[in-house]
Chain A
Amino acid sequence: MGRIVGGFATSHVLFPPAGVEAQAERVLQGMLAIRERIRALDPDLIVLAGSDHLNTFSLAMQVTLAVGVADAYTTLGDGGAPVATFAGHRAFAEGFVRFAAGRDFDLVQVEEVRPDHGMAIPRMIADPANRIPVVPVYINANMPTPPSPGRCYRLGGVLKEFVEAERPADERVVVLGAGGLSHWLCLPEQGRVASAFDEDFIARMISGRASELAALSAEDILNASGNGGLELTAWLFMAGGAPDAVGEKLYYEAIPEWISGMGGVSLIPRETRA
């Protein structure tokens, strides 16, 4: 059986440091700490969960949960992330979709997608040299009807089950959830940061209490942390894949100038800690 050896989550943007230099540096250092920890785990594959920003997906066909099954991806080049090509993992991705279908999750398989900054920046954080294949799992929380937090958390559990049941012995998988924390994008509240919500979310994530967060409704998260806060469903997907894990806050900064709460965590499953 394969194993999920670690879970991580991080905000998926950076903005110019002008005026917030110290905070920007702490955010960057937190992101680089995620890189170091992933490297130390020596994964064979990264499952990267996050959202598209209506770049590939659109309101013409509102796909919420989808898995990239392609052999390779070329990023869109938005958000300041240079266009890059990285390897996918078709056998893992298609196998996961088939396995999930038997667990009541009908996931959309995606052959053609240009990962935008929501995937490209976390991937650059995790593996700048493009050595590790990545399976993108789209949790498009920005769709008019987003998937529920509970469903995203349970899908992470299905991923864990799949890895342990069907993947080769000794395959080491890292899950990285990307997005959040609180932000109100293009809404009248833009610029507000719900730091108390963010800190509580992180505290529960790293103390093995993510299932409590998964009991929130999408509307609860939307009201408390904005439309951008709904991207935390990608964190919950990651946490669902490491249900007995505890972890560490790697960074948190409330940065109204960036219109966002910025944060990152690690979750290390019991077997990895042992």
Chain B
Amino acid sequence: MSTSTELQAPPTRKDTVTKARRPARRGPWAKAWPPILVIALFLLLWELACRAGLVNEIIVPPPSDVAVSLVSMLDKAYFWEATWVTMAETIAGFLIGVILAWAIGTALGMYDWAKTAFYPIVVGFQITPRVALAPLFLTWFGFGLTSKVVMAATICFFPVLLNVMVGMDTVDKNARTLMRSLGASRWEEYRKLVLPSSLPLIFAGIKNAITLALIGAIVAEFVGASRGMGVLIKSLNFQLDVAGGFAVIVALMIFGLILYWIVEYIDSKVVFWRSHT
């Protein structure tokens, strides 16, 4: 009895390695089919529920209607115009928010007193639902793109700011000692040690920010705008074209995913050492 457990207990190294590698050998499809199956099943159940009359088609249209609406929108100029407006607001707000957060977070993180002084207010803003500022921005910056860009920038500013500040605290103490022993200036220490050390956390914040920026732009459009996907959703809903509203939401999801993948790709190239620390 004891002999057999002894023989079975320690799995050999080779076994573990083979098991770990098996999914990779089957290629990307091995990983892709379970989510595809789940999505297909979800859409199928939704379709069946509508067709069987379990839900009112005016309130929740079947996915096939949504797909038809989406496809018909693809050759409409108003759809692409709205997409362009919302994407421009999102990307501009994202870039402004991230760059400002990086610059201000770095400046605050450099000095202990500044960090202590500003940390509570930063956390305070981080906790406040920033979409609540949208009506205020509308009165300040008007119906045009500015109020949406400001909203998107504001909503992604604080998470990035917080990660920039926290990232500067995660720098290895011995690494700082080494830099000091070499007589590195503050700037050299930042550029060669602090910035790269905090990049994994900064990029975690940035990945968060791109999704937040899109939320900010859409909410700001809901509050008051004449153009954009948020406006399109609202007007389609008013016309009781619920399938059309859903189609725009699906389009938003797709564009949001594309933006996220772009940021994720940049992250994997910039912070290439992430999985090894």
Q: Do A and B come from one complex?
A: no
Listed in ascending order, the chain B residues whose CB lies under 8 Å from chain A are none
A interface list, Cβ under 8 A from B: none
